Amino acid sequence: MSNQQIEIHVLTSLSDISEAEWDACACPESNESRPIDPFTTHRFLKALEDSGSVGTGTGWTPRYLVAYAGEMAIAVTPAYAKTHSQGEYVFDYSWAHAYERAGGRYYPKLQISVPFTPATGRRFLARPGYEEMGQSALVQGAVQLASENQLSSLHITYCTEAEAEAGRAMGLLHRTSQQFHWENTDYANFDAFLASLAARKRKNIRKERATAQTFGGTIHQFTGDQIEPEHWDAFWTFYQDTGARKWGTPYLTRAFFDIAQETLRDDILLVLAERNGRWIAGAMNMIGKGTLYGRYWGCTEDHACLHFELCYYQAIDYAITHGQTRVEAGAQGDHKLARGYLPVTTHSLHWIADPGFANAVEKYLVAEREAVDNDIDVLTSYGPFKKSSGEEK
């Protein structure tokens, strides 16, 4: 395979590659089971594109890279020309400001990521057996695309640790940050999870769950064919409210949720709260082969602890019941620590065209990685789990 000639094609639409060809690289395991990463499937990325959530006027212009060996696609990656840094969750605003203060033009830049999705997963999506060749070809192709188009930089966000190590070996800059994930250590049920916690933390979670139930209604979990169009009508209202408060303008369009009903509902878990015949709050999760990914939350009524119940505790319940090993609860949020979600390291890779600026960023990243490691150590020490077998039960 090493002697094969590799060609990189740049696609402006996923309509230019078949679902079977893309997914043979993105999720080859899906022939036998659920995709490990639901966000890099052809159907998810195309839903973003077809709904207008990415594309003209959004600041996310598709530039998907496909590596071909002869007639066969051996590797693909979701890449976008960006005219801003919104919806990435690995923030480079300070880099942009410094670059522009020095007289440079930071935007547009090239971004390899899943838009609006701070979830770790493979970014260099290669057919089995072509992993090393595929990653090398895609990195070289992305750097060449950025350089030839006089883009300031390339950013590969929420890649795997293995990809980060390989990227560093290829000369890319390595950045770390942190998230909070819940890990399933073969808990039989939610009470078994609670039994692993220190007494005070266990008591607090029980109190929060009991308080959440006082909202005067019923909590439902829906997935697959259980999800109905009316659920999306309600969730769109929730999503708009949260999106407007967090980002100014929601990233996803209404059409995305209509497409999700048609093509993504088997990949989705909706947790909805119903009160007096009305949906009043909800959380949307994406279901991977071994991981549940918490994505969006919103409400039309405020009730104590309902957010914690719908977003965190219902997700843990689902993961335990369905044998999933992890819940990723999205970006940021130290408040997740007390609810059983521990800090973990996330990774990104960067290439900057200007050598002087690249050197300055590299020095900054060395200090930042050390700070992230220290922060994770400190936060972990404050985690809710029992510190020893002899701790109070």
Per-residue pLDDT of the chain (393 residues; tens, 9 = 90+): 445 799 999 999 999 999 999 999 999 998 888 999 999 999 999 999 999 999 999 999 999 999 999 999 999 999 999 999 999 999 999 999 999 999 999 999 999 999 999 999 999 999 999 999 999 999 999 999 999 999 999 999 999 999 999 999 999 999 999 999 999 999 999 999 999 999 999 999 999 999 999 999 999 999 999 999 999 999 999 999 876 666 667 899 999 999 999 999 999 999 999 999 999 999 999 999 999 999 999 999 999 999 999 999 999 999 999 999 999 988 778 899 999 999 999 999 999 999 999 999 999 999 999 999 999 999 999 999 998 655 554
User: Which H or E run contains 274?
Assistant: strand 268-275
The residues, ordered by sequence, that sit 6+ positions from 225 with a Cβ below 8 Å of its Cβ are 265
Q: Are 75 and 125 in contact (CB under 8 A)?
A: yes
CA distance linking residue 204 with residue 208, whole number of Å:
6
In sign, the C-alpha dihedral spanning 239, 266, 291, 80 is negative
CA distance linking residue 182 with residue 199, whole number of Å:
18
CA distance linking residue 91 with residue 97, whole number of Å:
12
Q: Are 42 and 19 in contact (CB under 8 A)?
A: yes
pLDDT at position 63 is 98
Residues, the chain: 393
Strands 109-112 and 153-159: parallel
pLDDT at position 248 is 63
Say how many CA atoms lie within 13 Å of 209 toward its Cβ: 16
Q: In what order do the strands lie in the sheet with 79-82?
A: 60-62, 79-82, 109-112, 153-159, 342-352, 173-183, 326-331, 291-299, 278-287, 268-275, 218-223
CA distance linking residue 38 with residue 34, whole number of Å:
8
pTM, to two decimals: 0.95
Phi and psi for 155 in degrees, rounded to 5? -130, 130
Maximum Cα interatomic distance, the chain, rounded to a whole number of Å:
67
pLDDT at position 33 is 86
**Which of 249, 287, 238 shows the shortest CA–CA distance to 266?**
287
CA distance linking residue 77 with residue 156, whole number of Å:
10
Other C-beta atoms closer than 10 Å to the C-beta of 116 total 22
Q: Are 122 and 162 in contact (CB under 8 A)?
A: no
pLDDT at position 1 is 43
Q: Are 379 and 335 in contact (CB under 8 A)?
A: no
